[in-house]
Amino acid sequence: MKYAYLYLVVFVINKLMALVVYVLLPDYVYLIMDEDSLVEYTSALIFLYAFIMAGSSFLNSKEYRKALIIVFAIGLLGFLDEMSYGERLFDIKTSHIYDVKIDGLHDFFIVGCIMLNKSMHSHTLYLCPIALVATAALLITLYKYRLILIKEVVTKYIYPPYIVLLFFIVTIFPALILDLDLLDLDLLYMLEELLEMDAALALLFFCWSMSPPRKTAKLCQPIQ
């Protein structure tokens, strides 16, 4: 659990540091919230490091290979996404969908939300009953198989590396929501960039937690 606790400490510290910058050093807030700034490049490097570590662990370990290959893929995509797939570095022209510039995978989430919003406005009469029925069916299914699900989770997934990996989900989804720019606030832009960095850190901490412990050499060898 040490990596989970350490991650939480880092999570709190970087939020406090960002708050200090926001309140006391407003001239340097751009380093946190702007594109191609310190935090974004740091996030990109962390994603890249997680990608490399996950690949190395995948090759050297026979356990949890499915989780490692997922982290391997997410690390690569996260790095490319933070770098906008070279769009700004190499002045690549990108397409627009619903006036959204597509320079990363997260932009498809924004497009999806726009499409869903348009669909809900035009098909509210049909979507509400369908949503209610689907929600009821899901709740009934979860209740029916609750004991099996609890047993499955407890025996397989209450494991420190998976707890660290859960932090990735907990941080990346709020970052995606904030990326919708529903409110035009500098503090929210800053929080979005910090959460993306936190998501990258969660992948890195997961890889560290999966690394086999190093064997310490014995200082005194018995005399043969």
Q: How much is the average pLDDT of 13-39?
A: 88
pLDDT digits (tens, 9 = 90+) for 129-151: 766 777 788 788 877 877 676 56
**Tokens matching residue 47:** 């994603």
Of 153, 161, 152, the C-alpha closest to 205 is: 161
Residue 77: pLDDT over 60? yes
- pLDDT score, position 222: 42
Model pLDDT, residue 187: 86
What pLDDT is stored for residue 202 in this prediction?
A: 92
Q: Is 221's pLDDT higher than 60? A: no
Average predicted confidence (pLDDT) for the chain: 77
Angle at CA of residue 6, ends 165 and 76, nearest 5°: 40
pLDDT at 20: 93
Rounded to 5°, angle at Cα 95 from 115 and 171: 60
Query: Residue 52 is encoded by which pair of tokens?
Result: 């490399």
Torsion of CA 196, 198, 202, 203, to 10 degrees: 30
Q: Which pLDDT does position 219 carry in this prediction?
A: 37
Q: Please report, as a single letter, which amino acid is at residue 140.
A: I
Q: Who contacts 17 (Cβ-Cβ below 8 Å, separation ≥6)? A: none
The answer, yes or no, to whether residue 91 has pLDDT greater than 80, is no
Assigned token pair, 210: 């999966």
22: part of which helix (H) or strand (E)?
helix 2-24
Reduced to 3 states (helix: H, G, I; strand: E, B; else coil), residue 221 is: coil
Q: Which of 196, 189, 208 minimizes the C-alpha distance to 79?
A: 196
5 vs 162: which has the higher pLDDT:
5
Q: Give 149-184 as a DSSP string.
A: HHHHIIIII-SHHHHHHHHHHHHHHHHHHHTT-SS-
pLDDT value at residue 99 = 64
pLDDT band at 11 (very low <50, low <70, confident <90, very high): very high
pLDDT digits (tens, 9 = 90+) for 155-188: 555 556 677 888 898 898 888 888 877 777 888 8
Give the percent of the chain with pLDDT over 70: 66
pLDDT of 89 > 70? The answer is no
Distance CA 26, CA 222 (A): 62
Taking the C-alpha atoms of residue 162 and residue 144, their distance in angstroms, rounded to an integer, is 25
Going by pLDDT thresholds of 50, 70 and 90, the confidence category of residue 218 is very low
Whose tokens are 């997922």? That residue is: 70
